[in-house]
Structure 1
Amino acid sequence: MTGEHAGLTQWQRAVELGAQGWAAAARTALATLVADPRTSTAVVSLAHSTRASLIRQSGGHAAARAGDGRACALAVVGADSDDEWLSAAWMDGLVGLAADNLGIGDFAASRRLLDRAAGCRADARTALRLSWVRSEWGLYSGDLTVARAAAARSADLAEALDSPRHGLKTGLIAAAVAAASGDTEAAVRGGRAAYDQAGELGLLPLRWAAATLLAGVDPGTGEYAASAAELRSVLARRGMPLAPLRPGERHGR
């Protein structure tokens, strides 16, 4: 996307840190952006929704709603704006809220938010995020028809976006859909591919997610269960403790 926004490069760096599991460092960078009066409104909104996504990744869906709600409040004018980054910030907040509500089991609210986001202008990245959460909605609610259709759309969107990280997560969600559909062979194949690629790219949260999936569908010698436990410990040290929390742990502030 084009457009000049103060703080955009720093926000993108914070996103990269979070993707690698350096959650504490990412939160510090995001807090600095929010506190800086020079940061554009779009980037402040993106910072709030990104912080919320870090909390959500740890299992704190209820706590994440505050950040996503703040992101939406800041970027609401982006719903009808020609500013691509402001529009993206609005979409990120909506999709984040949909994911938050999905995580606490409010499927109706989640679907309403997804439907509202679907009616907004989206760039390739936000369209893909919307499709991911739509697929997850299908998985959690038991509507595998929705899950499969959204996973197929995600694959098309990820291919057009040409981002290894986004492609990896798309493949991992497809593997989860395959597992839920009873196609264990496809789930194992997709899970292993995601696990290996996440290791190569240093994307520890996605590698942990792949390991937990494989521990369920491909228990074997317990290799993946052991890897998931080890990755959980590493991520906790980086500021991303995963639910269920252990004594002394809490979701990132």
Structure 2
Amino acid sequence: MRIMRPEPTPAPTGVQEWQRAVDLGAQGRAAAARRVLSTLTADPAVSPSVASLAHSTRASLLRQAGGHGPARVGDGRACLLAVGATRTCSGADGAADAGWLSAAWLDGLVGLAADNLGLGDFAASRRLLDRAAEHAAACAALDSADWRTAARTRLRLSWVRSEWGLYSGDLDTARAAAAASAELVDAVPSDRHRIKTDLIGAAVAAASGETEAAVAAGRGVFERAAAGGLLPLQWAAAALLSGVDSAAEYASDVVFLRDRLARRGMPLAPLSPLERHGR
């Protein structure tokens, strides 16, 4: 039986530059990524969906550096620009852009959930995750052949759901979401997303007392992230391993990688007022 897949639709204006910024951020080159994102948000020709994605991506960079409070501003702007996705799931911003607008709305909501999680507001974080899940289910008809829309945002939602379980102490939720992520990532042809999914699985294993599994998965993530030049993920894996692995080198890797990230514009500490606004 032949599986019918959605026909690809043209990507909205600005998607290529947004993808470039995402790739730079994945390498830890946050300063360069912010420059690209600032250009996108200032360009009136860029579609609302991509402008929204630019704001939520910049918020993600802030969040990775520990700026959960300032990140809420960017994620809020992202939701404001994509609010049209809440009115209808049949083409809020034109047929070609509807799936992207829906993805942008989901990115904003999931980003806000992660921001509130980092600030310790578990109730607000869960409400935002539930709202995102409801939207994803209601707008399933907008699924497109471009994995960067529905497939990617559903995976991100599952990641943050698992993190919510870890931070709040609800290991059942953390495990269930990690298992769901392992299935959802099959629809995402991105090594980085697979590595991040495995990192979350390693964290869940560590929290569950499955130390050997956590070490094995964490080492695999560390090596694959290093091979791919994905410094933020490599640093996160080193930080995990420094707490669960008896090998001493990971503690020094944490410091070394932290310094490299700072030199690339991703200091894992509060940012200056100018950096907070991407200038």
**Aligning the two structures, in what range does the TM-score lie when normalised by the shorter sequence?**
over 0.9
Matching of residue 159 in structure 1 with residue 186 in structure 2: yes
Instruction: After TM superposition, give the deviation of residue 56 of structure 1 in Å.
Output: 0.3
The count of residues paired between Structure 1 and Structure 2 equals 251
Matching of residue 177 in structure 1 with residue 196 in structure 2: no
Q: Distance in 2 between matches of 1:225 and 1:204?
A: 15
Unaligned segments of structure 2, at least 5 residues: 1-7, 92-97, 141-149
Instruction: After TM superposition, give the deviation of residue 252 of structure 1 in Å.
Output: 6.7
Q: Distance in 2 between matches of 1:17 and 1:246?
A: 18
Q: Does the CA contact (< 8 Å) of 1:211 and 1:228 recur in 2?
A: yes
Aligned equivalent of 1:238: 264
Instruction: After TM superposition, give the deviation of residue 4 of structure 1 in Å.
Output: 3.3
Cα 1:74/1:104, change in 2 over 3 Å: same
Q: Does the CA contact (< 8 Å) of 1:179 and 1:217 recur in 2?
A: yes
User: TM-score under structure 1 normalisation?
Assistant: 0.95
Aligned equivalent of 2:143: none
Matching of residue 18 in structure 1 with residue 25 in structure 2: yes
SS at match of 1:120: helix
Find the partner of 2:44 among 37, 40, 45: 37
Q: Distance in 2 between matches of 1:78 and 1:3?
A: 18
Structure number with greater Rg is 2
Q: Does the CA contact (< 8 Å) of 1:2 and 1:84 recur in 2?
A: no
Write the deviation string for residues 127-151 of structure 1: whole angstroms up to 9, x where unpaired. 0000000000000000000000000
Matching of residue 88 in structure 1 with residue 103 in structure 2: yes
Unaligned segments of structure 1, at least 5 residues: none
Q: Does the CA contact (< 8 Å) of 1:131 and 1:150 recur in 2?
A: yes
Q: Distance in 2 between matches of 1:35 and 1:94?
A: 22
Aligned equivalent of 1:61: 68
User: TM-score under structure 2 normalisation?
Assistant: 0.86
Q: Does the CA contact (< 8 Å) of 2:116 and 2:122 recur in 1?
A: yes
Matching of residue 75 in structure 1 with residue 82 in structure 2: yes
Write the deviation string for residues 27-63 of structure 1: whole angstroms up to 9, x where unpaired. 0000001111111110000000000000000111111
Matching of residue 120 in structure 1 with residue 135 in structure 2: yes
Q: Does the CA contact (< 8 Å) of 1:240 and 1:251 recur in 2?
A: no
Matching of residue 46 in structure 1 with residue 53 in structure 2: yes
Aligned equivalent of 1:208: 235
**Equivalent position amino acid for 2:100 in 1:** W
Q: Does the CA contact (< 8 Å) of 1:195 and 1:206 recur in 2?
A: yes
Q: Does the CA contact (< 8 Å) of 2:82 and 2:105 recur in 1?
A: yes
Aligned equivalent of 2:13: 6
Q: Does the CA contact (< 8 Å) of 1:239 and 1:252 recur in 2?
A: no
**Equivalent position amino acid for 1:46 in 2:** L
Greater than 4 Å deviation, 4+ residue runs: 249-252
Aligned equivalent of 1:192: 219
**Equivalent position amino acid for 1:235 in 2:** L
Q: Distance in 2 between matches of 1:39 and 1:127?
A: 24
Cα 1:53/1:250, change in 2 over 3 Å: same
Matching of residue 227 in structure 1 with residue 234 in structure 2: no
Percent identity between the two aligned chains: 66
Instruction: Kindly report the root-mean-square deviation, in angstroms, between the aligned alpha carbons of the 2 structures.
Output: 1.8
Q: Distance in 1 between matches of 2:277 and 2:38?
A: 12
Aligned equivalent of 2:166: 139
Instruction: After TM superposition, give the deviation of residue 22 of structure 1 in Å.
Output: 0.3
Q: Does the CA contact (< 8 Å) of 2:129 and 2:161 recur in 1?
A: yes
Q: Distance in 2 between matches of 1:149 and 1:232?
A: 31
Q: Does the CA contact (< 8 Å) of 2:67 and 2:271 recur in 1?
A: no
SS at match of 2:44: coil
Instruction: After TM superposition, give the deviation of residue 162 of structure 1 in Å.
Output: 2.7
